[in-house]
Amino acid sequence: MTKEETEVSLNTIDAAALKRYFISGANNINNNKEYINELNVFPVPDGDTGTNMTLTIMTAAAEVDKLEKPTIDSLAKAISNGSLRGARGNSGVILSQLFRGFCKDIKGKDKLYPLDIALAFSRAVDTAYKAVMKPKEGTILTVAKGMSEKASEIIESDDPIDMISFADQILSYGEEVLEKTPEMLPVLKEAGVVDSGGQGLVEVIRGAILAMKGEDVTSQERSAAAAPKAKPAFKEINFSGSSNDHISTADIKFGYCTEFIIMLDKPLSDEEVEAFKEYLLSIGDSLVCVADEEIVKVHVHTNHPGLAFEKALGYGALTRMKIDNMREEHTERVILNEERTKEKEKNDQFKKIEADKATHVPKPSEPPKKYGFVAVAVGDGISDILKDIGIDHIISGGQTMNPSTEDILSAVKQVNAENVFVFPNNKNIVLAATQAANIFKEKNIIVIPTASVPQSISAMIEFDAEADPEANKEALISVMDTVKTGEVTYAVRDTSLDGKTIKKGDIMGINGGGIAAVGEDINETTFALVEDMVDEDSGLVTIYYGEEIGKEKAEELTEKLSEKFADLEIDVHYGGQPIYYYIVSVE
């Protein structure tokens, strides 16, 4: 290598290098996700920032890894689209927006110089800040902004600098900003932690720089692209047909569940998208087809997967292709279910969920209704309540397992309605829902930023089928403020927060104001939580008891509350939710 070539390599990043750096950064946060999870301010068993950021970036890394001869443009598309579709939780959505802004700025370039990196950093931060309605300082946004400002400062100094020194200075300053986040957010300082999202971003950049120095980070898991499988907080329900175990495999009309993504050569017109859907429906059913300017995600049941692939190849290259033989899976399920007689009651519940889901898949011949509803929830009891009040489709998820933007898009697609209201029911899912609404334009998606299931229940009761969408949106958002929500769970570590000393294993009652009650007994702590939530305007207290609480124990709590609050109406319902012993609403 000549001296001139050496100087260029030290001061530029080409496509091959960018691919390495990105995958190394993804692997580094993947390897550190549990540590990032533990930085959650509240010591609850659902601190999932590290998991959400990892799932987001690993979806993009899987797309990047498939590029054999990458260009800057192809990498930008893979990173942007992959992270956008895989985004989970607020931290994941913000990370995807940082990537989106960065990738927009580097398109059209053959190599990246420090100036290009500085400009792309600036656009990344602008894009991410715009995606958050009320940005808070002391978060991942602050750390990203600090890195961007440092990059610009270095460039403006006119001092000669190589890429590694440039990157090291950016990372070092990002770490300095991260250490200051507790001074910007008092809740971080009290908990004795730095911002978890900011830590995640630092780990991504650190991993990229290690690769820049020839120390590429490899994943400590067998499959870097796979979602982490560490003990899910709720039982994962297979919706691939388990409720049809009583039928013959010969009765399955279309035998192959076929999924793939088209990397479009050029954007498709609305007419082309509709023609493609019509073709897929002519060779199959159970179609879910989501399209934007750069990719098309397809799920279809068909007897001829090859025909679907061949048609799709006319629009662009295919990726993430997957074919499952549903007849074979069906036979295996029948045998398996015969060996699981002790779980019959749960299987019956899963069959009911599948049957309900099937009725909500729109048939091409049915005209769309005016309004449809999607909600995120977990717990069979809560799911039943939501369906009873009119929710068309329930996305199984919530704490610990935040659904991705793609999950929400798929759910909206299955509701045959012109206007679809989405209830995230968790503040950490609102951004992903909003991102889905921005991507999908075939329907009017209206996100009601509910932070809890009780808020969505009150919103549905308030809904007026005769009113127009905007009027309903205003009414539903307004009613959210009348509902207080509390949750009872256990502490996963020792800490001091909200003026309370908390030990690992303690029972905590948490409401909108923070940790309201701490104790050793579940019912006593829940009672103290309700006492804190009730005021002179309260009229109704509703208790949803979780999967670890028996009916008798819940009724004991209700009886005690009724004695204390004789003027209030006290309702109790089986929720079946994991993690939280009780969910409480006060209206």
Question: Which of left, alpha, beta for 503 (phi over 0: left; psi -120 to 50: alpha)?
Answer: beta
3-state secondary structure of 285: strand
User: What beta strand segments (E) does 378-530 contain?
Assistant: 393-396, 417-423, 444-447, 484-490, 495-497, 500-502, 507-511, 514-519
Cβ of 358: how many Cβ atoms within 10 Å? Answer: 14
Token pair 């992903």 is found at 432
- Pairwise CA distance, residues 175 & 4, whole Å: 33
**Stretch (H or E) spanning 544:** strand 540-545
Question: What residues have CB less than 8 Å from 220, skipping those under 6 apart?
Answer: 30, 31
Question: What residues have CB less than 8 Å from 104, skipping those under 6 apart?
Answer: 76, 80, 123, 127
- Pairwise CA distance, residues 294 & 78, whole Å: 10
Of the candidates 284, 321, 288, which has an alpha carbon nearest to the alpha carbon of residue 303?
284
- What pLDDT, on a 0 to 100 scale, did the predictor assign at position 400? 58
Q: Which two tokens stand for residue 120?
A: 């792309």
Of the candidates 308, 306, 326, which has an alpha carbon nearest to the alpha carbon of residue 254?
326
| This model's pTM is above 0.75 | no
3-state secondary structure of 97: helix
**Stretch (H or E) spanning 322:** strand 316-325
- Pairwise CA distance, residues 74 & 107, whole Å: 9
Token pair 């009652």 is found at 509
180, 154 in Cβ contact below 8 A? Answer: no
- What pLDDT, on a 0 to 100 scale, did the predictor assign at position 344? 47
**Stretch (H or E) spanning 72:** helix 72-86
C-alpha distances (whole Å) from 65 to each of 3, 259, 270, 422, 525 are: 31, 19, 31, 33, 49
- What pLDDT, on a 0 to 100 scale, did the predictor assign at position 42? 64
| Distance from chain centroid for Cα 492 | 22
Q: What are all long-range contacts of 121-127, with beta carbons under 8 Å and residues at least 24 apart?
A: 121/147, 121/148, 121/151, 121/152, 121/170, 122/148, 122/151, 122/152, 124/97, 124/98, 124/99, 124/100, 124/148, 125/98, 125/101, 126/101, 127/97, 127/98, 127/100, 127/101
585, 452 in Cβ contact below 8 A? Answer: yes
What phi, psi does 570 have (nearest 5°)? -115, 120
- Pairwise CA distance, residues 54 & 32, whole Å: 9
- Pairwise CA distance, residues 230 & 233, whole Å: 9
- Pairwise CA distance, residues 447 & 274, whole Å: 25
Of the candidates 288, 467, 287, which has an alpha carbon nearest to the alpha carbon of residue 370?
467
Token pair 């001061």 is found at 11
- pLDDT single digits (tens) 246-303: 334 344 577 777 878 888 888 888 788 888 988 988 888 767 666 777 888 787 888 8
Query: How would you write the pLDDT of the chain (587 residues) with one tens digit per residue?
Result: 343 433 335 688 999 999 999 999 999 999 998 888 888 766 665 557 888 899 899 999 999 999 989 999 999 999 998 998 888 888 888 999 999 999 999 999 999 999 999 999 999 999 998 877 678 899 999 999 999 999 999 998 877 688 999 999 999 999 999 999 999 988 788 778 899 999 999 999 999 999 999 999 998 753 333 333 333 232 232 222 333 333 343 445 777 778 788 888 888 887 888 889 889 888 887 676 667 778 887 878 888 888 888 889 889 888 777 777 765 544 544 444 444 444 444 445 554 444 554 444 544 457 889 999 999 998 889 999 999 999 999 998 766 578 888 889 999 999 999 999 999 998 888 988 998 898 888 899 999 999 999 999 999 988 999 999 999 999 999 988 889 999 999 888 788 877 788 888 899 998 887 889 999 999 999 999 999 999 988 889 999 999 889 999 999 999 999 999 988 899 999 999 888 899 999 99
Question: What residues have CB less than 8 Å from 157, skipping those under 6 apart?
Answer: none
Token pair 């049915």 is found at 366
DSSP string, 335-393: HHHHT-GGGHHHHHHHHHHHHHHHHTSPPTTSPPEEEEEEEEE-SHHHHHHHHHTT--E
42, 399 in Cβ contact below 8 A? Answer: no
Q: What share of the chain is helix, strand, coil (3-state, %, to 5)?
A: 50, 20, 30
- Partnered with residue 375 across adjacent β-strands are 394, 423
3-state secondary structure of 192: coil
User: What is the C-alpha R_g of the chain?
Assistant: 25
Q: Which two tokens stand for residue 561?
A: 């509350």
Q: Which two tokens stand for residue 406?
A: 């793609």
Q: Which two tokens stand for residue 296?
A: 């098309």
- pLDDT single digits (tens) 337-378: 444 444 444 445 554 444 554 444 544 457 889 999 999 998
3-state secondary structure of 6: helix
233, 46 in Cβ contact below 8 A? Answer: yes
Determine the length of the chain: 587
240, 323 in Cβ contact below 8 A? Answer: no
C-alpha distances (whole Å) from 44 to each of 39, 273, 374 are: 11, 45, 27
- Pairwise CA distance, residues 191 & 264, whole Å: 47
C-alpha distances (whole Å) from 64 to each of 20, 57, 178, 317, 527 are: 9, 10, 28, 14, 52
